[in-house]
Amino acid sequence: MHYFQYRDRALHCDEVDVREVAEEVGTPLYLYSHRTLLRHCTNLHTAFGDTPHLTCYSMKVNGNSTILRLLAKEGIGVDIVSGGELYKALRAGFPPDRIVYAGVGKTDAEIRYALEEGILSFNVESLPELEVINGIAGRMGIRAPVGLRINPDVDPKTHPYISTGLKSNKFGISSARALESFKWAAEMPHIEVIGIDAHIGSQITTVAPFVESAEKLAGIVGSLKREGIALRYMDIGGGLGIPYHEETPPEPSEWVEAVLPAVNSTGLKVIFEPGRAFVGNAGILVVRVLFVKETEHKTFVITDGGMNDLIRPSLYNAYHEIWPVERTHADPIVADVVGPICESTDFFAKDREIPRPERGDLLAVMSAGAYGFSMASNYNARPRAAEVMAREDRFTVIREREQYEDLIRGEES
């Protein structure tokens, strides 16, 4: 559910006419719907009802400071994966005791930084990492709060590039080694073991893999109790899918209902880390058609946005709907919607039926709020796009379009 809708023939974001934003800000541009974002935030934040919980927005999904500030104000926490994300999260107003830190490769400097700031928990992904955290905390004369990330070997049935909880993936500690790892951690003088964690993948559209993973975690929590190791948190990760096209992922409330028995059986406070479900359908990428190129084989609609702006189609063959910003009566054509970048994988859609656009028309690449701008790059020396937030009938640039000078910042000139 989102608030990108046509009024007469013109696409609107909340009450804002998308054409007006493109005229004023230029293209390509990311446009976010404030109302959609808040709606998703409320749904996710309240889904666990009275069950003690902490909702942590996974900020790798979209780290724009305005979006972070908005979510921090709503009282949720944040899931981070780097020192840079910690810096942005703190500046946006997330209190340290609502920050959880995952990632297979934390540097010593990042670990020290997070310890100094007093985050809620490190989600530790390996025993060597645990040793390093113990050592650094020891030198600082403190104890580091940690949860162990367990790899539950559950198939999330999503794209292989975004599966993380299979035994062939690099993430977490295998469930077979969970018990001995917890015992080992519990004996470390500068480690305080407070949680258990799993994150099995992203864009998951059924509840079964989540339930399987939560049950495996609950089983481990039970064994730990018997060994005298009492935890405080069970972090069930993120991964809740969104409708990009024809998917019908569970609503947050259905998802919670499914995992709740496993969560409740532990008596622990539950942490969950959705990302995509917050912002995916709250954002679009607006691009302008440069050329319509006909070859003997195909029609290419060439736009001023490319894979450097939104890499998901190139990287995961991801499907994003393409909507005309102004509806016309043009006959439909089947075309590849592509960017200007010198790569054959630079596309937004392949063999897609769309109303025949003309040079200068605006197109909206839908559901682009998650892993859109946050994965953008300067490839082909393209300044990164502007980001804009629409709220009621007004809009604000929340990140300026990069300029050519930005492309040489820090380089010897």
Binding segment for ligand LLP among 35-43, 70-78, 232-240, 288-296 (CB under 6 A)?
232-240
**Residue 369, interface with ligand LLP (CB under 6 A)?**
no
Binding segment for ligand LLP among 33-41, 179-187, 275-283, 385-393 (CB under 6 A)?
275-283
**Residue 214, interface with ligand LLP (CB under 6 A)?**
no
Q: Which lies closer to ligand LLP via its Cβ, residue 33 or residue 202?
A: 202
Determine which residue in the list 240, 337, 363, 366 makes contact with ligand LLP, applying CB under 6 A.
Answer: 240
Select from 327, 329, 316 the least CA-distant residue to 367: 316
Pairing, β 4-7 against β 10-13: antiparallel
Binding segment for ligand LLP among 6-14, 126-134, 238-246, 340-348 (CB under 6 A)?
238-246
Determine which residue in the list 14, 129, 273, 346 makes contact with ligand LLP, applying CB under 6 A.
Answer: 273
Catalytic residue check, 342:
yes
- HSE, CB side, 13 Å, CA atoms: give it for residue 38: 13
Q: Which lies closer to ligand LLP via its Cβ, residue 77 or residue 274?
A: 274
C-alpha span between 215 and 196 (Å, rounded): 12
Pairing, β 386-391 against β 394-399: antiparallel
Q: Shortest gap between Cβ of 352 and ligand LLP (angstroms)?
A: 19
**Residue 238, interface with ligand LLP (CB under 6 A)?**
yes
Which residues, at least 6 apart from 395, have a Cβ–Cβ distance to it below 8 Å?
Answer: 13, 16, 20, 21, 31, 388, 389
Q: Which lies closer to ligand LLP via its Cβ, residue 312 or residue 382?
A: 312
Q: Which lies closer to ligand LLP via its Cβ, residue 276 or residue 288?
A: 276
Binding segment for ligand LLP among 5-13, 33-41, 243-251, 267-275 (CB under 6 A)?
267-275
- DSSP state at residue 60: T
Q: Which two tokens stand for residue 135?
A: 């050592």
Q: Shortest gap between Cβ of 241 and ligand LLP (angstroms)?
A: 7
Q: Which two tokens stand for residue 122?
A: 């490190």
Pairing, β 53-58 against β 269-272: parallel
Which residues, at least 6 apart from 272, have a Cβ–Cβ distance to it below 8 Å?
Answer: 48, 53, 54, 55, 56, 235, 236, 237, 238
Q: Which lies closer to ligand LLP via its Cβ, residue 233 or residue 395?
A: 233
Determine which residue in the list 6, 184, 300, 316 makes contact with ligand LLP, applying CB under 6 A.
Answer: 316
Applying the rule CB under 6 A, the residues between 159 and 178 that interact with ligand LLP are 162
Q: Which lies closer to ligand LLP via its Cβ, residue 201 or residue 324?
A: 201
**Residue 371, interface with ligand LLP (CB under 6 A)?**
yes
| Per-residue CA distances from 275 to 34, 104, 291 (Å) | 16, 18, 35
Applying the rule CB under 6 A, the residues between 55 and 114 that interact with ligand LLP are 58, 61, 79, 102
Per DSSP, the residues of 113-147 read: HHHHHT-SEEEE--HHHHHHHHHHHHHHTS-EEEE
**Residue 301, interface with ligand LLP (CB under 6 A)?**
no
Q: Which lies closer to ligand LLP via its Cβ, residue 36 or residue 202?
A: 202
Q: Which two tokens stand for residue 38?
A: 């808040």
Q: Which two tokens stand for residue 310?
A: 């939104």
Q: Which two tokens stand for residue 261?
A: 């028995």
Q: Shortest gap between Cβ of 4 and ligand LLP (angstroms)?
A: 19
| 4 neighbors 255 (Cβ within 8 angstroms) | no
| 367 neighbors 242 (Cβ within 8 angstroms) | yes
**Residue 48, interface with ligand LLP (CB under 6 A)?**
no
**Residue 237, interface with ligand LLP (CB under 6 A)?**
yes
**Residue 239, interface with ligand LLP (CB under 6 A)?**
yes
Residue 359 phi, psi dihedral angles, 5° rounding: -50, 130
Check 13, 41, 56, 342 and give the catalytic one: 342
Dihedral, 57, 58, 63, 66 alpha carbons, nearest 10: 0
Q: Shortest gap between Cβ of 229 and ligand LLP (angstroms)?
A: 23
**Residue 202, interface with ligand LLP (CB under 6 A)?**
yes
Q: Which residues bind ligand LLP (CB under 6 A)?
A: 58, 61, 79, 102, 162, 199, 202-203, 237-240, 273-277, 312, 316, 371
List, by residue number, the catalytic residues. Answer: 342
